[in-house]
Amino acid sequence: MLDAIFEGLQLAFSFPALWFLLLGIFIGIWVGVLPGLGGAVALALMLPFTFSMDTVSAFSFLLGMYAITSTADAIPAILFGIPGTVASQATILDGHPMAKAGQTSRAFGAAYSVSAIGGVLGAFLLALSLPIIQPFIMAFGVPEFFLLSVLGLTMVGMLSGRSLLKGVAMACLGLLLTTVGYSNATGIPRFYFGLDYLLDGIPIIPVMLGLFAIPELMELAASNTSISREGHKDKTDSLLNGLKDVIKEKWLVIRSSFIGTYVGMLPGLGAAIVDWVAYGHAVQSAKDKSRFGQGDVRGVIAPECANNAHKSGALIPTVAFGIPGSVGTAILLGALIMKGLRPGPDMLTIQLPTTFSMIWSIAIANLIAASALFFFSSKIQKIAYLPGHVVVPGVMVVLLMGSWIGTNSIGDLWLCLVMGVIGYFMKKGGWPRPPLILAIVLGPLMEDNFQLTNQIYGPFSWLFERPVSAGIFLLTLIIVLFSVFKKSSASEKPEAGEGNALNPPISIPFGLILLLVFIIITIQALGYEQFATKSFPLAVLLVGIPVTLLAFITETKNFIRDGDIRSSLLGSYSDRELKLSLKFLAYVFLTIISILFLGHIIGLTLFVLIYLMRWGKKSAKFAIIYGLLVSAFIYLFYDRVMNVLLITPF
């Protein structure tokens, strides 16, 4: 074993493998920063370039790029509240509030430090686990994967602030959104309301970007402030303070690395929930929860550590059993086969040095990338202090292009805008967004495993016959009971963040609309003849309707009892920020129209010019230079480099 470890290290540092690793790191940083791309997209695009490389160089290049996207994606998550990849969703909850509070460098320092530590610890745990992990992997079947999805949603639902009911309702809405389109079980289209665009289901990237990013841009445009609301650095804002935070929270770092590695190795599930599980663990294990969601550095440390460690964990089933744990590892599996390697026992015996060279590549890549980002962070963090009207148009361009990349459909842009509106009113009304987005990620896996479990084992018998299933169910129940008990405790400090906004004039109508949507979907679901088509949606609605109704009644009663109804209504709907936010939505709406008729380059450039001159009151010279830079960026990067199909006017 030791000989294979050192031989793998020599292979990782050999030439040209090391040069290709550095190139992969550079591309990975770029891909992680730009929303909508992600490690899987980069792997798919770069795979053909590895055909002529030797095996070690090819995997140094691919793994260097793949491992680093979840380090670099902390930049847009912290600065703009935009998830660079799916793995950075949980980082937004505390990372972006830290940037608003003038602690951008501190957040970056913590994120980069734990990214390096998590990547290295994950690689170390992977090396230790390879020979002994097979029985654990093989113990998981479809019932366990279904229950793990429920556990992941439960962990996030517990983070719903004042109202656990709202969190559950949002999770139910997310699960229902994943049932739109053709049913995997029967092939019958569901809930598409005559729109052909919805037949293939709702894509995750436009939903994620719209839900989290557009509300932040609306507020930034309306307030005309810098990202940092303080307008200056906090005295504790430095990269070294972020590093000190990591050292102080060393046990959280170690636990999050374990979570990242061993949750990350679950095929098809780990990548979706690992950052949320780590974030939920950080909240539940903290004595003082009052700062979570408002800029608690622990809310950056846990998910960033876990999502870097998970890249190593995801390699375990890929290399050892030929079972890819995500889209990215599926592409890596294809690369293994392309290079003549056989996933399975050979990778743990004959090809063990090659396997360890992959592990070393991940560890080295994380260290180099974290060091590079530390060096450049002093420049990057200055964006947080730029005027909001300078930042908004550039970020909006990247956001709309990120939404477009997935399916090259104009419907994705409309979906992003609609989810932005929904996300804005959710944020204002105290309806938490994390359960909704995680449910959308987990929904297809949950329904598939739900159907297979019932077909293979029958209803509920598997829960008592399979010890692992029983253990996961018991753990989920304990978490729910523990959370309810903690919330009901009079001595518990109030939690902050998502789901804690108190704005009944917005929250109550939102709850009523959600209830009506659930009722309409129930009526339509009952009309489907085949049981497999409607069983999962009806099971979700069986929970969603009473929970939403109870949340609506509770909030309405509290509002009538405690609130000054007239002044609250006038205050909410005459709010200047709300009016300006709706004006910003009109700008985005017209931009999508212009893209449809004039093409991406002209439409987005016009948005930049009009926004800067009319709303931002910038000079024509400044706006034209900005617009030309945007045009060049779209053409050179998205069209020439990424070969994205763009709409053109001719």
- Nearest CA-CA partner of 358 in 314, 306, 326, 321: 314
- Does 453 or 330 have the greater pLDDT score? 453
Report the amino acid identity of residue 575. Answer: D
pLDDT band at residue 519 using 50, 70 and 90 as cut-offs: very high
How high is the pLDDT of residue 362?
85
Question: Confidence band (pLDDT; 50, 70, 90) for 164?
Answer: confident
Q: Of the given ranges (73-77, 113-117, 231-235, 592-596), which has the lowest mean pLDDT?
A: 231-235
Q: Give pLDDT, residue 377.
A: 80
Question: Please, which pLDDT band fits residue 493 given cuts at 50, 70 and 90?
Answer: very low
The answer, yes or no, to whether residue 315 has pLDDT greater than 80, is no
Residue 564 has what pLDDT? 59
pTM of the model: 0.85
What is the predicted pLDDT for the residue at 501?
Answer: 67
Average pLDDT of the residues of the chain? 84
Relative orientation angle of helices 434-457 and 142-157, to the nearest 10 degrees = 160
Q: Does pLDDT of 627 surpass 90?
A: yes
The mean pLDDT value for 456-461 works out to: 75
pLDDT tens-digit map of 110-153: 999 998 898 888 888 877 776 666 666 667 778 887 887 887 77
Position 41 pLDDT exceeds 80: no
Residue from 214, 602, 180 nearest 414 by CA: 214
pLDDT at 161 over 60: no
Query: Is residue 17 over pLDDT 80?
Result: yes
| Confidence class for position 650, pLDDT limits 50, 70, 90 | low
End-to-end CA distance of the chain: 62
User: Which residue shows structure tokens 């190593």?
Assistant: 312
DSSP label at 179? T
Cis peptide upstream of residue 16 (ω within 30 degrees of 0): yes
Q: Of the ranges 179-183, 246-250, 500-504, 534-538, which one carries the lowest mean pLDDT score?
A: 500-504
Stretch 498-505: mean pLDDT, rounded? 72
What gap in Å lies between CA 430 and CA 554, rounded to an integer? Answer: 14
Residue 277 and residue 302: Cα distance in Å, rounded?
9
Q: Lowest-pLDDT range, 34-38, 156-160, 337-341?
A: 156-160
Tokens of 245: 């935070």
Lowest mean pLDDT across 114-118, 473-477, 524-528: 473-477
Q: Distance between CA 537 and CA 540 in Å, rounded?
A: 5
Answer whether residue 469 shows pLDDT above 90: no
Confidence category of residue 575, pLDDT binned at 50, 70, 90: low
**What's the pLDDT at 214?**
92
Q: Are 136 and 405 in contact (CB under 8 A)?
A: no
Contact 121, 367 (CB under 8 A): no
User: For the chain, how many residues are written?
Assistant: 650
Given a cut of 80, is residue 502 above it in pLDDT? no
For residue 417, what are the contacts with CB-CB under 8 A and spacing of at least 6?
210, 214, 585, 588, 589, 592
- Phi and psi at residue 60, in whole multiples of 5°? -65, -45
What angle (nearest 5°) sits at the alpha carbon of residue 495, between those of residues 491 and 498?
160
- More confident position, 484 or 293: 293
Under a CB-based contact definition with an 8 Å cutoff, are residues 178 and 375 in contact? no
Q: Calculate what percentage of the chain has a pLDDT beyond 90.
A: 32
pLDDT of residue 636: 93
From residue 112, how far is each of 72, 109, 188 by CA, in Å?
8, 5, 46
Would you list the domain boundaries of the chain? 2-558, 576-641
pLDDT score, position 578 = 77
Give pairs for 50-58: CB < 8 Å, separation 24+: 50/335, 50/338, 51/338, 53/20, 54/17, 55/339, 55/340, 55/341, 55/354, 56/11, 56/12, 56/14, 56/17, 56/354, 56/357, 57/16, 57/17, 57/20, 58/20, 58/335, 58/339
With a CB cutoff of 8 Å and minimum separation 6, the contacts of 92 are 77, 78, 81, 82, 83, 212
Residue in 538, 495, 633 with CA at minimum distance from that of residue 191: 538
Residue 611 has pLDDT above 90, yes or no: yes
Question: How far is residue 34's CA from residue 235's CA, in Å, rounded to a whole number?
Answer: 30
Range of weakest confidence among 345-359, 404-418, 434-448: 345-359
353 in Cβ contact with 4 (< 8 Å):
yes
The pLDDT assigned to 562 comes to 67
With 50 as the cut, is the pLDDT of residue 490 above it? no
pLDDT(462) > 50: yes
Q: What is the pLDDT of residue 567?
A: 57
Q: Give pLDDT, residue 376.
A: 83
> Are the beta carbons of 308 and 122 closer than 8 angstroms?
yes
The region of weakest confidence among 6-10, 144-148, 425-429 is 144-148
Q: What is the reported pLDDT for 269?
A: 64
Structure tokens at 551: 């949340």
Q: What percentage of the chain exceeds 70 in pLDDT?
A: 87
CB 149 within 8 A of CB 275: no
Answer for the pair 282, 302: CB distance below 8 angstroms, yes or no: yes
For residue 563, pLDDT over 70 is answered with no
3-state helix, strand, coil in the chain (%, to 5): 75, 0, 25
What is the pLDDT confidence band of residue 569, given thresholds at 50, 70 and 90? low
Crossing angle of the two packed helices 600-610 and 576-598, in degrees rounded to 10:
150
